[in-house]
Structure 1
Amino acid sequence: MPGDTVKKNSSERLGEITRVNGPIVEARHMEHAGMLEVVEVGDLHLIGEVIRVRGNAVTIQVYENTSGVRPGEAVRCSSRPLSVRLGPGLLGTIYDGIQRPLDRIAAQSGAMIARGEKAEPLDTEKSWHFQPLATVGQRLQAGEPFGQVQETLSILHKIMVPPSISGELLSIATEGDYRGTETIATLRDADGREWPLSMFQYWPVREPRPVRARLQMAEPLLTGLRVIDTFFPIAKGGAAAIPGGFGTGKTMTQQALAKWSNAQIIVYVGCGERGNEMTEVLREFPELVDPRSGRSLMERTILIANTSNMPVAAREVSIYTGITLAEYYRDMGYDVAIMADSTSRWAEALRELSGRLEEMPADEGFPAYLPARLAGFYERAGRVETLQGGEGSVSVIGAVSPPGGDFSEPVTQHTSRFIRCFWALDRDLANARHYPAISWRNSYSEYLVEIADWWKNHDHNWKNNRDILMDILQEESNLQHIAKLVGPDALPDSQRLTLFTAEIIKNAFLQQNSFDDIDMYCSPEKQSWMMRLLVKFATRTLVIIQKGATLADIHGLPGLERLMRMKSEIKNDDTQTMAALEQQISTGLDALERSLRA
């Protein structure tokens, strides 16, 4: 596995390369190898994974460039599946797809990763201040914490018993500073075997970490983006997709979610994206300030960078590396959000590898097992009861990059089968500088039922107000077709009012300014108030129009301009200004209604 050297002292564990086809290598004399076992390929000891076994011959997927690797070179086995090292020190680190720390590799060999380059995923020389949470003689269950360290100022890291063992605690270190590889506890299982425990442990990336039970989702993952939180919410533990063509704002939206969502841990996977985009992410994230703590956002973030110029096979595994790290922190009881940008590039890696394996292609050349792989990834999301009895969640948000913005292509279509929240980005909105460019016509969320009670406790009219605003936007969409034929001036005032109100909803509520200190994040309380004010405005002006007022009368209402600017002029906690604007709008409507009766 990455960061470890494979045992080389046993000639019985050596195979021989017979064929090289890009990242796919075939070898013989490998009767001792197992499926998904990690191997070192060739004289450069390139990291690979066994993906097919036929007698004593195997097919290997190599995660590095195989140029120059020749038949006859040796293959060394590890007797371990592709795994990640878990423990304190993950947060704030930038890895590649197979958990090689890019900053340490850059310090060793420069900006480009040399083939066969290895570095420890976690710093084995760094000491952590360990605090024991268990006592000698105590029986510890799988996944139960027996100690803790302060990983960052924001996150307390629990040292847990590996999920595969349980037993009686024979010894445990006293409080103090220890390196991650040092034995800090000893456990004896039911068979009498003794297990030394350190702060570090391993877990195979393709195997979901076990949980006690899966729980129903009940709380929204708040993002600060009104179009998401109000119209198309995602629950903690949910799965969402952001499909959109080039330049529609997928990466920008995911970065906003990483910064502002109320997840406690963020795992950001840049899978197959352009190097300049990923470089921007790597430069900006360490400089971002966590709005909750006022410190660096990297204190609770893990970045996985696997750009389009890196080996395609490592792109395929980077998604699994990210979700495994997310599950590890979930097991500590944290709410984790993983951003995968983008699953389309991951699917393209599957297509290339499938082609080199000479497998029968399905739709648009993608392998027939693409739906199963997508399902396996998104189904690792969820809110769970952990093995220790606590609660944690992993929310998965995957970007999809359909060629030409065609949502009928296979990756988008299959993804929509396995997620319950679909944030479709619209090219016209993006070109109009409407951020976020999430279409209210093509997007949907199936989490409204689960989170309705949470919102009801904060605002009992939330669901009703949301439905009213959505109905106005839907009616406006239908009226636009008529207006294009006969012109808006030919419509009656009530329908023109709908067009006007919809414009206010789009500009004053749905559109946000990510560079505005006030509007970059909108609290749930402010969102509820804005919805309530817009619903009051829409319903009362419709009644007034029906009583004989004109659209010009509505345009002349005092406070209307402030209503349009409320998103950027009223702070999230400024309830006094909110009440003043609401009173001004109500007073103006009352005066207009009295004038009609006079």
Structure 2
Amino acid sequence: MSQGVVVKVSGPLVVATNLPEAKMFDVVRVGHQGLIGEVIEIRGERVSIQVYEETSGIGPGDPVVSTGQPLSVELGPGMLEGIFDGIQRPLDVIVNQAGSFITRGIDVPALNREKKWYFRPVAKEGDRVTGGDILGTVQETVIVEHKIMVPPYVEGVVEEIKEGEFTVTEVVAKIRKDDGTVVDVTMMQKWPVRKTRPYKQKLPPEIPMATGQRVIDTLFPVTKGGTACIPGPFGSGKTVVQHQLAKWADAEIVVYIGCGERGNEMTDVLMEFPELKDPKTGEPLMKRTVLIANTSNMPVAAREASIYTGITIAEYFRDMGYSVALMADSTSRWAEALREMSGRLEEMPGEEGYPAYLSRRLAEFYERAGRVICLGKDEREGALTVVGAVSPPGGDLSEPVTQATLRVVKVFWALDAQLAYARHFPAINWLTSYSLYSDTVERYMNNKIDKNWGELRATAIRLLQDEANLQEIVRLVGIDALSTKDRLILEVARSIREDFLHQNAFHEVDTYTSLQKQFRMLKLILLFYEEAQKALDKGAPFAKLEKLPVRERIARAKYVKEEDIANFDEIEEQIKKEIAGLLEGGEVYA
């Protein structure tokens, strides 16, 4: 450790001298209270430090102590069900020790040092192991088995391994390396947050991550190991969409980062998740969730660290072979922290005052997503999917953070203020959103769900685009100028929008829709379109077609429980029967 002195304080930025051993991104303790900071620039003898706590009261001459270690997270049993701040301090422990507000300089270990976990060995004495091999397991929650792995870059023979109850700092195994040195292995690893955890091989993202949200799964899917962004103005539903993904996405572990958003949104997660049941196990969702909370009333600088803290934890669970979903809400607030620190460092600003390296930092973050073959002999597969919300001022999607994000992510769910004001949720605009995974997912769906999946999806998108074009004509000359075929397109597109894309997050059935049910729902709407087209060709009156009783059953299909979707066969028959009856008798078939 080396000790220097403060020479300048500017908000969260502190400049110190006499720290000859300091390196970039080392953690330092600032002032007599020992505030946590990180070295972000070194110019000659002057070291610039980003302090993750309120710096009032710090002045020139105060001590600065370098720890010589990079900003790291503790990885081990005890993370699940936890809520941490941006630098992985457990907020529940801080509340008990210091009250509702984080006391400056408080130093609390991320993982409980006293709680004992039952360790069951998988490896045996004499086994040769390499980084990533599983030494044993701990049942962390009812849902998740925590795998204790050999730290990366360690290779050798297991000299000793124990079974029983241990704390995270007690030695559970000893590994003798080839050079004769012995490595003591505990259940806890430390890892620098800015360094990507290693893996054997990156795999193409081919398997869809089912979310239960129809507009996402059917029109704009994301894959396991994929990247997506949700940009949208205030009040358009970014946070609700991310909450829905965290609740229902086909992922075994969820890491939710509240980065600079309002505290009440994190409170919603904390209140809801323990009550919500995991659809697969029936246990509370919180038992497979890690929360990182760095809300808008917490220090700005710590927002920058919170993103890296969250993704390092997510990579650790991925390395166990789990599918992990990471939600970052929102990267705009993270970019604002970058902008503030860049301004205080007096760097040359880029567009709108953001640092010139904004795009690179965003790319480095999103590139840590992926589906991989993990380290270890068993060739297990893990996936890390990253979904980032972006909050552009006034919903302006041309601003730098949105544009830099779009250059690196593959899925764009554009939230629309007009849809939100019309109470159409999720307010994802089907004309401006896109997914670059759609071709890959279509092949998967055609094989696993139904061979007609891709055809139905393409028809639905075409009808929605045709509707947008026809609406222009209607605004100019009125609906009476349209042919019956065009009016049918408008009617069916309205049905796709209102009966399929619109989804109620607070309805016990409608909140989640399986892929099979999504296919059957869309098939009903497009079967009606197909049969109605034939009927119009034979001279059926459009006014009676749009008022057929079966339309009500199509509209209410979203409220049919998953176990009852076999009843959709009956609705399909009713569609054909009623349209046939209309043609035969010239009246609605009863």
Partner of 1:489: 480
Partner of 2:81: 92
Equivalent residues of 2:82, 2:90 under 8 A apart: yes
Partner of 2:563: 573
Find out whether 1:71 has 2:49 as its counterpart: no
User: Superposed, which structure 2 residues align to 1:75-474 within 5 Å?
Assistant: 75-173=64-162, 175-388=163-376, 389-457=379-447, 458-474=449-465
Whole-angstrom distance in 2 between the partners of 1:432 and 1:122: 46
Q: Secondary structure at the match of 1:418?
A: coil
Q: Secondary structure at the match of 1:219?
A: coil
Equivalent residues of 1:547, 1:596 under 8 A apart: no
Q: Which amino acid aligns with 1:117?
A: I
- Cα deviation for residue 564 of structure 1 reads 1.1
- Cα deviation for residue 595 of structure 1 reads 4.6
1:504-524 Cα distance to aligned partner (Å, 9 max, x none): 111110001122221111011
Q: Secondary structure at the match of 1:553?
A: helix
1:56-75 Cα distance to aligned partner (Å, 9 max, x none): 33111111111101111111
Equivalent residues of 2:208, 2:441 under 8 A apart: yes
Whole-angstrom distance in 2 between the partners of 1:45 and 1:287: 38
Taking structure 1 as the reference length, the TM-score comes to 0.96
Whole-angstrom distance in 2 between the partners of 1:310 and 1:519: 36
Q: Which amino acid aligns with 1:583?
A: E
- Cα deviation for residue 555 of structure 1 reads 2.0
Whole-angstrom distance in 2 between the partners of 1:153 and 1:276: 28
Q: Secondary structure at the match of 2:545?
A: helix
Partner of 1:7: none
Find out whether 1:526 has 2:514 as its counterpart: no
Q: Secondary structure at the match of 1:77?
A: strand
Task: Structure 2 unaligned segments of length 5 or more: list them.
Answer: none
Q: Which amino acid aligns with 1:379?
A: E
Whole-angstrom distance in 1 between the partners of 2:467 and 2:539: 22
Whole-angstrom distance in 2 between the partners of 1:256 and 1:275: 18
Equivalent residues of 1:99, 1:321 under 8 A apart: yes
1:186-231 Cα distance to aligned partner (Å, 9 max, x none): 1122222211010001000001100100001111110101000000
Whole-angstrom distance in 2 between the partners of 1:309 and 1:73: 26
- Cα deviation for residue 280 of structure 1 reads 2.5
Partner of 1:587: 577
Whole-angstrom distance in 1 between the partners of 2:572 and 2:69: 64
Whole-angstrom distance in 1 between the partners of 2:130 and 2:371: 21
Q: Secondary structure at the match of 1:376?
A: helix
Whole-angstrom distance in 1 between the partners of 2:271 and 2:546: 46
Find out whether 1:54 has 2:43 as its counterpart: yes
Whole-angstrom distance in 2 between the partners of 1:491 and 1:451: 36
Deviation above 3 Å: which 4+ runs of structure 1?
A: 593-597
Equivalent residues of 1:558, 1:585 under 8 A apart: no
1:327-364 Cα distance to aligned partner (Å, 9 max, x none): 00000000000000000000011000100000010110
Equivalent residues of 2:160, 2:175 under 8 A apart: yes
Find out whether 1:41 has 2:26 as its counterpart: no
| Aligned-residue RMSD, C-alpha | 1.3
Equivalent residues of 1:344, 1:411 under 8 A apart: yes
Whole-angstrom distance in 2 between the partners of 1:566 and 1:69: 63
Among the aligned pairs, what percent are the same residue? Answer: 54
Taking structure 2 as the reference length, the TM-score comes to 0.97
- Cα deviation for residue 16 of structure 1 reads 1.2
Q: Which amino acid aligns with 1:84?
A: V
Whole-angstrom distance in 1 between the partners of 2:62 and 2:394: 44
Of residues 511, 514, 517 in structure 1, which corresponds to 2:508? 517
Equivalent residues of 2:130, 2:153 under 8 A apart: no
Whole-angstrom distance in 2 between the partners of 1:558 and 1:46: 69
Deviates more, 1:57-66 or 1:106-115: 57-66
Partner of 2:499: 508
Equivalent residues of 1:125, 1:179 under 8 A apart: yes
Whole-angstrom distance in 2 between the partners of 1:428 and 1:537: 28
Equivalent residues of 1:31, 1:55 under 8 A apart: no
